Chain A
Amino acid sequence: MPSKEIDMIKVLETKLKGKPVQIQLGHLGTAAVQASAGAYKDVLKAMLEADEKTAVTAITGIDLGANIGVYYHIRTSNAFITIQAEVPKENPKIATVTDLMSGAAFHELEVADLLGVVFEGHPSPGRLVLPENWPEGIYPLRKDVKASEVKLNPPSTVDEKLSDEGKLVKIVIGPQHPALLEPEKFAVTVDGETVKNVEPRIGYVHRGIEKASESRTYLQDVYLVERICGICNSCHATAFVETVEKILKTDVPHRAKYLRTIILELNRLHSHLLTLGHAGLEIGYETLFQYFWRDREPIMDLIEIVTGNRVISSSMTVGGVRRDIKDTDIPKIKTVLTDLRKKLPFYKEIYENEPSLKMRMQKVGTLSKEDALKLCVVGPVARGSGVDIDVRKDEPYEAYGEIPFKVITYTAGDTWSRMNVRMDEVEESINIIEYALDNMPAGAYRVKVPRVVPAGEAVNRVEAPRGELFYYVKSNGTAYPERVKVRTPTFANIPSFLKTAIGESIADIPPNFVSLDPCFSCTDR
């Protein structure tokens, strides 16, 4: 049983005496508080008063038959607690938490869209993941909805007003735009060249993966969930299989944990090198882009040697990993990593000394530490603003508890800091992989698990290259999961872009945006 939650639970038990709440330590693998729809906000207030680093990780909506469950997954500096509330299906109204934590806005909109829960007092209600012409009253994630009853309304033909009577012009960036790799729409209101307001519209890549996972077996779901994102595919697979293993209460062999760590860190390496190159492209620095991507190629070859494919690794399974590393491959891996490590000082010097790069990246897109905490951002975006959260240290999983590494933070909070965080993390990843290869325990790399998972639910968090990735899986005793909830890091980080872009020029939008490392396939699922 995790001991970190005990402190927070004791605080809550004192503060919430007399309220209709039920505190359960050990539930869901960490701790849970069952509260009524009226009392859950008091629990949140108590947690906020106790710890300033309290933030919303995700809000899960789940169809429980007569009721709809609204679960708030809250992380604090050393605990992870779920507040479980329920609302009746005929009248699904619940109070919003955006007045306490503005970062919860997107999460509430998604639950409203997909399950029909009305959050009273939400600052900007509207559609988030479903298109505008989706018929009213049909909520995809409810169990009683049928695909045949969905008939889309004809798309609206009203043109968006591109400028008002004054001097403000609305420029629509996306859905198709050279700066964005994947389609999302940002309507930017500008005055000359200064940005006044940003209105986002996401959901263009929504494929309904959470609903699709309910009609596939757990084994097939591993491959489905891997394809939520091409770049951080191993992290999705790892998070899912870890959650299922928590429900099954199995422990993977020690060697499998080290192998998983190596694959996850290789994933992080190639993702960070991709972002660093992409940022160079956005500021017009094509040379840096080509150099970074040239140095990323040997890492892709390494991933091919270890897992059998360059991008989608498909090497995690419930109970371990699917294949082992051969001893003859280890010297090859080490040579490539040593070569990459030798190239890093050159890139660090460019970031320190190149005047045009510094002019484009420093003091651009600044996010202060208070804003980072209020908006509940994760990953290098948070670490670039001085907030040191890293799931690998806060709640060690796989072999991270045994491998020494540093959590990198910078304090300036601008684009330059975030890119530097990623570059330093590249070096840390190389250290982690080398340590894991040197200290790999012998033994099996896989255990057999039953195909039918007993009833239960679990939560799990993994540090993807872009930040904290959260999974919640509920099983009902059959071979098919009841609910799979995914909260990806970019989903939590996009609201910070709405804050940092205001007041700067349009020309700063591409580097600012790329420094978040947006992955829209992850965001929309």
Chain B
Amino acid sequence: MPTIVWSLPPITPHGRRRRQLDAYLDGELSAPAERRFAGHLSGCARCAAALSEARAVKTLFATLPEEPAPRSFAVSEAMLAPVPAPSLRAAAPSPAYGALRWAAGVAAVAAVFAFGALVVVDVGGGGGSQMASPTTLESSAAGDFDQTGATPATGSGKDDDTNRESTDDDSGADGANEASGQPALGESDGGSRSGAAGATPVDAEPEALNSQASPDITNAAAGGASPPEVADADEVADAGAKRADGEVAPPADEPDSAEKAPAGAGEGPPVAAGRAAAGQAELSGDVTVQDETLDAASDSTLGALRIAQIALGATALIALVTTVALWRRAKGIHP
């Protein structure tokens, strides 16, 4: 929008000088720039006033006393011993949790389909006589599954919500396929069976996470001494961390974390986003470093989210079972 550009105040020589005020105060201007600024000061009351204010700030904060160290920060052998982090992430979630999570996703998708089928049955069954034969009912329901199954957006979208992870898309699609198959085959044990099937790929995950927890120190080594030219690397990292939805601790405590930050912003979120992509995470040193700095708060958030996931899964499972039961009863009554 050009109007906005035009409405900005022009950068006057005065404005530019104003920004040099603190550098002048700190003696950080080049000799010619310093001379120029001194010349400007003698003729500009506003700048002179601002300078004396800035000087007051500087002196005031310089009076803050240096406090003695409250204790020795000496590093002991005990501190250096690799302590297994008690964090939820480092302590990999139990396979049961993984299975539950998968079951939750699958059950949610299955519940949607089953509910859809029930609606079809109810609406279609309004006539009663038309639905006399169970075979037609089955086939019409199956047809409906197929149709709905053809739009993967519903399935994977649902799964994403449940799992809070975008890279689950593949597995989500799997789940949808499974789910669309299951209810057509055998009704009530569809949920549990797919849950068991789902558990297999998930089982790999805790192992990957475990092995990821060990090489904490060594693979942070990428950092050189080169100071980065990126002006606000940390802001980029901030953005990255935000995008990762609180999953990632920001680039860690290493001196090179600032250098790493831009890369981390590109690399971190997708990695962190998919715990299912643990194989990938395992390869990336960044994640390990980040794990080190995980704090209790993000752990508790993680814990809460997991409980929410499980609750959601349980609800979906109940919904599925109820729907299937209703469906069966409807089937039983109509013929």
Partners in one complex: no
Q: Chain A: residues with CB nearer than 8 A to chain B? A: none
